[in-house]
Amino acid sequence: MQKKIYFDHAATTPVDRRVLEKMLPYFTENFGNPNSQHAFGRETVAAVDAARDEIASLIGAKPSEIYFTSGGTEADNWALRGAAQALAHKGKHLIVSAVEHPAMIATAKDLAKKGFEVTFAEVDEYGKADLAKLERAIRPDTTFIGVMTANNEVGTIQPVAEISAMARARGIVFFTDAVQAVGALKTDVKLPAVDMLSFSGHKFYGPKGIGVLYVRAGLRIDRLVTGGHQERGMRGGTTNVPAVVGIAEALRIATEELDRNAAYVASLRDRFISRVLREIPYVKLNGHPKDRLPANANFSFRYIEGESLLYSLDLAGVAVSSGSACSSGSLEPSHVLLAMGVPEGLAHGSIRFSFGKDNTPEEVDYAVDRLKEIVVKLRALSPLFPKELKNEVYPKED
């Protein structure tokens, strides 16, 4: 039987069975619209309220600070557009890190066409925001700083506490996209204090198409989705009750099991990273060596196209990603790697491996063994591979 190994948990995760069980009644028996004035509606209002309370208590927020959205993309769009527009009378300069997810980068570029000025804040070679440069980018008319908690491609964890303090000392709104961090790192909107924070259910074994935007009490941002009175008039649209119930349960489980799962997944990542670096030559680990998400390993394989590697691994039954899942399919090199100063050739040869709680050390070993064979094969075919180099890999040591 063909192996099917999933090492793409940063793209999405399967729904945890316990989460699914909790969601199921809300597709059938408890299908009421929470806006309805009858018993069916009241039942689902109670479920949505309970989910909101649960999420708030898990991240140190108040229920009134939690807004449900259609996912991370909408939450990011809303945070940036909503704050930029609401604060436009104060200033029109926005700062967004250069390694944000396209949900932020594309939104910032869009705003730049509509009269705002955007600075894409530089990062260092590991993808970390450069605090001195960030501080220099701040202007009297800066109203918003957005820096993600952890990067989706290379896994680098940002100095969010320092950036938040820098922004707040100057009365600038600080937003962090925690889509990759929630479920992997402890999340508390008070530690460090942030003004807004986003996350998405499908990254931590919850359903797709549901996200949360936390907005600190007292901060007014403009609405993005106009319509009915849902979400206290701030986001129209009939509430996706099963998904709301699901994201709350997924967050409860992820928080409860965080220490154990993060340690386990990090052990798989470390086994993978150390074998690849020892056994395959001409490989670069992208991202921070220590301050990285427990599940993330990102490598550039010199003299190889990432896409060819991805397809060969797929044929061997190993699912990985080249660059970000959202921009794969395009042959543009990753904007994250380019911002980190990785040369274009190397950026093209990059692959992200992201591990999950159901992966095993045997799967890691199988993947490394296949990877070694594939790398040798692709380098043998590559016109870029220098003739004077030996096309070889090294045996496993243990």
Residues with catalytic roles: 326
Identify the CA nearest to 47 among candidates 241, 322, 319.
241
**How many angstroms separate the Cα of 92 from the Cα of each of 46, 150, 222?**
41, 26, 15
Q: Are 178 and 188 in contact (CB under 8 A)?
A: no
Q: Stretches 16-24, 65-73, 119-127, 296-304: which one binds ligand PLP (CB under 6 A)?
A: 65-73
C-alpha 160: how far from chain center = 15
Distance CA 176, CA 163 (A): 10
Residues 180-219 that bind ligand PLP (CB under 6 A): 180, 200, 211
- For residues 82 and 211, which CB has a smaller minimum distance to ligand PLP in the complex? 211
Radius of gyration of the chain (CA): 22
- For residues 186 and 229, which CB has a smaller minimum distance to ligand PLP in the complex? 186
Residues 307-326 that bind ligand PLP (CB under 6 A): 325-326
DSSP E strands: which ranges in 66-138? 66-69, 93-97, 117-121
* Min CB(287)–ligand PLP separation in Å: 14
Cα dihedral across residues 359, 302, 387, 316: positive or negative? positive
User: 206-215 burial string, b = 16+ CB within 10 Å, else e?
Assistant: bbbebbbbbb
Total residues contacting ligand PLP (rule CB under 6 A)?
Answer: 15
Residue 293, interface with ligand PLP (CB under 6 A)?
A: no
Binds ligand PLP by CB under 6 A, chosen from 103, 243, 364, 375: 103
- For residues 32 and 211, which CB has a smaller minimum distance to ligand PLP in the complex? 211
Distance CA 135, CA 301 (A): 35
Residue 296, interface with ligand PLP (CB under 6 A)?
A: no
Residue 9, interface with ligand PLP (CB under 6 A)?
A: no
Residues 114-173 that bind ligand PLP (CB under 6 A): 148, 152
* Min CB(201)–ligand PLP separation in Å: 7
Residue 243, interface with ligand PLP (CB under 6 A)?
A: no
* Min CB(331)–ligand PLP separation in Å: 19
Distance CA 88, CA 234 (A): 19
Q: Are 76 and 126 in contact (CB under 8 A)?
A: no
Binds ligand PLP by CB under 6 A, chosen from 71, 127, 207, 242: 71
Identify the CA nearest to 147 among candidates 198, 89, 221, 190.
198
* Min CB(151)–ligand PLP separation in Å: 7
Binds ligand PLP by CB under 6 A, chosen from 16, 54, 65, 177: 177
- Residue ranges in contact with ligand PLP by CB under 6 A: 71-73, 76, 101, 103, 148, 152, 177, 179-180, 200, 211, 325-326
